[in-house]
Amino acid sequence: MKFPAPTIVVKLGGASITKKSEFETIDYDSLVKSATSLAAVIAKQPHNYIVVHGAGSYGHHQAKKFNLRGCFDSPPPPSSPSQLPGVCATRLSVQKLNLLVVEALINAGLKAVSISPMNLSVLCGEGTNSMARMISLVTDCVVRGYVPVIHGDACFTKAIPGAGIVSGDPMCEVLAKHFCKSNNPNDCAIFVTDVPGIFPKCPKKFQVDNELIREIIVDERGQIVSKMNINTAVVDEYDVTGGILSKIDSAVQIARAGVPVHIVEGNTEELFRCASGEQFVGTTILRST
């Protein structure tokens, strides 16, 4: 379903709303900045928001301890009964964060409601095939003026007692493809991170000869056709979902469908500028024309 008003799928990356190196520690300033930025955009022009957030310092530690791996549409790894406590601990942690994100959005003036993938029978390894109930609920929320807020989650596999992690990035891909109008610049996906965008090398480690990549062009096959060398492979010790590489892959697939993707830094003015359609500092991923 495509909505008449501009629709923006916003991914609040875990690194942008939590302090990833500190166990279950929220970055309130950055979270509140993102929430107030989104509310300020709606005050200027009606928008539909679908918000997905990562786990950051919530959930990843527990998932790593119990060897729960990310497997949205790939074959899930073998599981054992010893991982069952890990599913419980991971879900408890990410739901704590989800409540904080929803609270921040409500305090900013948005009508935010929480959505948990496991509760809607999203299954690891099944990809889009298990997203029908979520898509239906998101539709019901948006047409009534609510902002659905979805979190990465520990979910079951078809095989018992299997379980794994469904990351926010591939869910963003499914939601953006389904709800955003292609070839319409007002509909887009925005990934909010803790760096200004995509760089040739990790910007936290390399400051010299490492300029922000402002635009990435992909073709209809999802191949990057821009002349560049992206080597941002610095995945956090506790990140079980692929870090920045997962974001790039999901962003490329969204852009391949004709929906522009913007990657901006949290706790700055760039999310507001980007969602408002103004010039902003960040990376844009587009399909070639």
Mean pLDDT of 16-41: 96
pLDDT given for residue 235 in this prediction: 43
Token pair belonging to 273: 């500028």
pLDDT given for residue 82 in this prediction: 87
Under DSSP, the state recorded for 75 is: P
Over 60: is that where the pLDDT of 96 sits? yes
Q: How confident is the model at residue 236 (pLDDT cuts 50, 70, 90)?
A: very low
pLDDT given for residue 184 in this prediction: 84
* Tens digit of each residue's pLDDT (9 = 90 or more) over 137-180: 999 999 999 999 999 999 999 888 889 999 999 999 999 999 99
Over 80: is that where the pLDDT of 121 sits? yes
* Tens digit of each residue's pLDDT (9 = 90 or more) over 30-89: 999 999 999 999 998 889 999 999 999 999 999 999 989 888 888 777 778 888 999 999
Of 16-20, 126-130, 240-244, the range with the lowest mean pLDDT is 240-244
- pTM of the full structure: 0.93
Report how far apart the first and last C-alpha atoms of the chain are (Å, whole number). Answer: 24
The CA angle 84-86-90, to the nearest 5 degrees, is 130
pLDDT given for residue 237 in this prediction: 45
Q: How confident is the model at residue 106 (pLDDT cuts 50, 70, 90)?
A: very high
Pick the most confident of 1-10, 66-75, 170-179, 213-222: 170-179
What is the amino acid identity at position 285? I
Rounded CA-CA distance 248/233 in Å is: 11
| Greater pLDDT, 274 or 69 | 274
Mean pLDDT of 228-255: 65
Give, for 133, the enclosing helix (H) or strand (E). Answer: helix 132-143
pLDDT given for residue 244 in this prediction: 63
What is the amino acid identity at position 259? V
Q: How confident is the model at residue 228 (pLDDT cuts 50, 70, 90)?
A: low
Greatest extent of the chain over all pairs of C-alpha atoms, in Å: 51
pLDDT given for residue 234 in this prediction: 45
Written as one string, the DSSP assignment of 9-37 is EEEE-HHHHB-TTSTT-B-HHHHHHHHHH
pLDDT given for residue 210 in this prediction: 86
% of the chain at pLDDT higher than 70 = 93
Over 70: is that where the pLDDT of 194 sits? yes
Over 70: is that where the pLDDT of 27 sits? yes
Rounded CA-CA distance 89/82 in Å is: 13
% of the chain at pLDDT higher than 90 = 70
